[in-house]
Every structure is written in structure tokens, then in C-alpha cells.
């Protein structure tokens, strides 16, 4: 019988059956051995098979997953969630301000994990006309690259309906800095979930890589969301400096015009990317992000490493 893991609490897994019932399952030893690299063999989002004794006997291949380093065993990783259809990055240009550098790093991580991403700029109601104009320009910049953006306020029912549409029948991870309005948004979308807002400090959570926090919440209109205070960032990725350019989607086709195959788009002659930046075909802001990450300018990117 087939089921979906919706919560993991140590040795017990809550599994949603095909009949929409929640049952508690345990794990057979064989699967534990096979997945030695990760500290948790089964993650929220996994599709599994279980037997009459509610033992998990098989895991279906994951289409994607997000991981963290395990705290105790440094070489091991911890899978936070799997089989995501999309991630919604909640940002705000006001109270608190989400930096574009953070958004760009988040986009790179999502590209590395092969998870489609949409960006939501919340707290529209706090923006001055000038700020709203700026927000629209940022929206245009990201949409041109291929990242859908929404400018919303959780106070606006129409905006909430728009986001509901995006969530319907999908497994969605909700991410973003503390205070941007994730819980408020989720509660507006699905009031029965009644998530607590901002109860635990981030610094505290950084060290707590437990699965207890990760849970798949079913949405009454179809689909489910994962909201975990521990997933403000998407987690661990390792990207070699030479690979970084591949995660800037808009560089890809234009780099065919570079003279050198292995062009890093820094200062090489006849570089298609540099030329595109000079004629505003590629955004200067994104290009600056690229150079900034290469130079390791930002130090507050916790789980992020350039090899
Ligand atoms: P989280 O940490 O991302 O879950 O953020 P919360 O949902 O706890 O929201 C943080 C604060 O922002 C709360 O005081 C909310 O009332 C407020 N907030 C959320 N959405 C909006 C919005 O659209 N407009 C305004 N003005 N405040 C909002
Ligand atoms: Zn180049």
C-alpha cells in the first residue's frame, strides 16, 4: 500500500494513506542500511509503501530534496523534505527588508536543488508610491529571467486568493526570513492551521536540525505546504566557483557568445555576458550578485559554501 510521509518524529512516521487517513508507521531495517549517508532515511514528502503491520517497506525515488548538515556527524546530511513541487520565497522590502543578494542566493540554491521557485513580496501596504514603483521594477527584473513574482499584502483578500491559486494541488515549501509574514500568510490562506507567529528565535533554531519541526500541512482546497521555522534558507549546497555561472539562468544562452568556452564572465575579452550587462540585456544588479558571490563578499550565508 502506498502513502505520503507527512510528519516524522524520530522512529515514528505519520503517513497519509491513499484513503486520506493518517496512520503511524515504523521502518524496516533494510531501508536504514541503504541510506547510510543521511541521518534520516525517510523524510517528509517521501512516497512510501507500507505493509499490513504498518512497516515502511519501500521508498519511491525522490524527484528532489533539501538537506542540512547533520549536527552530530559532520559528514552526514539530514534530509529536511523531499518531492517539492515548488518553493515560495516570501520577501518584504519593508520591516524587515529582504536584500536582493539574499534573494539571488536563494534562487541559486533552488536551481541547484531543481525546485521551481516563485517570489512573493509581502507588506505592499507599507510601501510608499516610490517604493512600490521600485518593487515593480524588481518584479520585472526577476520575471524577465523566468521567476514569477507577486506583490501582495496579507491584509488583502484578493491577494490571498491569488496565492491560493498558486498553491492548489502542489507541495509547496514556504521560506523566507523571520518577520516577513510567512505565518500570517499561511493563516490567511488556511485559518484552521493556526500557526504560531514568531515564537522561537532564529539563532536557537540554527542548531536544531530536528525533523520534529518539519510537517506537511494539508490544504483544504488541495495540496499541502511545508512551513518550518528551521527552513528560512534552503539549506546546504556546494557549488564550485566555476559552476556558479550555471545557476544564473539568464547567463546560459548568452554565454554561447563568449569567446572562451570556459569564460567566467569576469574580465575576459569578448564576453557575451559582460556585453549583455553593458546594454542592460542582463541586469547589473544580478551581475553584481554574481561577482559578489564569487568574491565571497557576504559572510552571513550560514549553510552556503563555495568550494
Ligand atoms: P514570519 O516570521 O515570517 O512568520 O512573520 P509573521 O507572520 O510572524 O509576521 C511578522 C509581522 O508582520 C507580524 O506583526 C504581522 O502582523 C506583520 N505582517 C504580516 N503580513 C503583513 C502585511 O501584509 N502588511 C503589514 N503591514 N504587516 C504584515
Ligand atoms: Zn563570458
Rounded distance from Cα 198 to ligand 1 centre (Å): 9
Encode pLDDT of 128-177 as tens digits. 999 999 999 999 999 999 999 999 999 999 999 999 999 999 999 998 88
Rounded distance from Cα 305 to ligand 2 centre (Å): 23
Rounded to two decimals, the pTM is 0.86
pLDDT of residue 304: 40
pLDDT of residue 267: 95
C-alpha cell at 301: 550565508
Distances, alpha carbon 25 to alpha carbons 64, 81, 194, 226, 288, in Å: 23, 17, 26, 20, 49
User: Can you give 121-179 as a three-state secondary structure string?
Assistant: EECHHHCCHHHHHHHHHHHHHHHHHCCCEEECCCCCHHHHHHHHHHHCCCEEEEECCCC
Ligand nearest to the CA of 228: 1
pLDDT of residue 207: 41
Confidence class for position 241, pLDDT limits 50, 70, 90: confident
Rounded distance from Cα 257 to ligand 2 centre (Å): 7
C-beta neighbour count of 265 within 10 angstroms: 25
Rounded distance from Cα 252 to ligand 2 centre (Å): 10
C-beta neighbour count of 175 within 10 angstroms: 25
Residue whose CA lies nearest to ligand 1 atom number 20? 181
pLDDT of residue 204: 43
Mean pLDDT of 30-56: 80
Q: Is 154 in the pocket of ligand 1 (CB under 6 A)?
A: yes
Encode pLDDT of 69-89 as tens digits. 665 555 667 788 899 999 999
C-alpha cell at 224: 499541502
Amino acid at each position: 500500500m502506498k502513502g505520503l510521509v507527512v510528519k516524522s518524529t524520530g522512529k515514528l512516521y505519520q503517513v497519509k494513506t491513499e484513503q486520506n487517513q493518517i496512520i503511524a508507521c515504523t521502518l524496516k531495517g533494510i531501508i536504514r542500511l541503504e541510506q547510510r549517508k543521511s541521518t534520516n532515511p525517510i523524510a517528509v514528502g517521501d512516497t512510501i509503501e507500507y505493509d499490513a503491520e504498518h512497516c515502511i517497506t519501500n521508498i519511491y525515488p525522490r524527484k528532489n530534496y533539501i538537506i542540512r548538515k547533520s549536527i552530530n556527524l559532520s559528514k552526514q546530511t539530514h534530509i529536511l523534505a523531499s518531492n517539492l513541487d515548488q518553493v515560495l520565497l516570501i520577501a518584504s522590502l519593508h520591516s524587515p527588508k529582504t536584500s536582493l543578494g539574499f534573494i539571488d542566493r536563494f534562487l541559486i540554491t533552488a536551481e541547484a536543488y531543481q525546485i521551481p521557485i516563485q517570489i512573493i513580496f509581502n507588506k505592499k501596504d507599507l510601501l510608499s508610491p516610490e517604493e512600490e514603483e521600485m518593487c515593480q521594477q524588481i518584479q520585472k527584473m526577476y520575471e524577465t529571467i523566468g521567476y514569477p513574482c507577486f506583490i501582495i499584502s496579507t491584509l488583502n483578500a484578493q491577494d490571498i486568493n491569488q496565492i491560493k491559486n498558486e498553491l492548489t494541488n502542489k507541495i509547496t515549501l514556504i521560506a523566507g526570513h523571520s518577520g516577513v509574514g510567512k505565518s500570517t500568510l499561511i493563516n490567511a490562506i488556511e485559518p484552521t492551521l493556526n500557526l504560531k507567529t514568531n515564537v522561537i528565535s532564529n539563532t536557537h533554531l540554527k542548531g536544531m536540525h530536528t525533523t520534529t519541526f518539519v510537517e506537511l500541512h494539508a490544504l483544504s482546497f488541495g495540496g499541502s505546504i511545508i512551513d518550518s521555522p528551521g527552513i528560512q534558507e534552503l539549506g546546504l549546497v556546494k557549488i564550485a566557483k566555476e559552476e556558479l555561472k550555471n545557476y544564473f539562468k539568464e547567463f546560459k544562452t548568452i554565454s554561447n557568445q563568449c569567446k572562451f568556452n570556459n569564460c567566467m564572465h569576469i574580465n575576459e575579452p569578448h564576453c557575451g555576458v559582460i556585453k549583455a550587462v553593458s546594454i542592460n540585456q542582463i541586469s547589473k544588479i544580478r551581475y553584481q550578485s554574481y561577482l559578489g558571490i564569487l568574491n565571497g563578499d557576504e559572510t552571513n550565508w550560514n549553510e552556503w559554501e563555495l568550494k
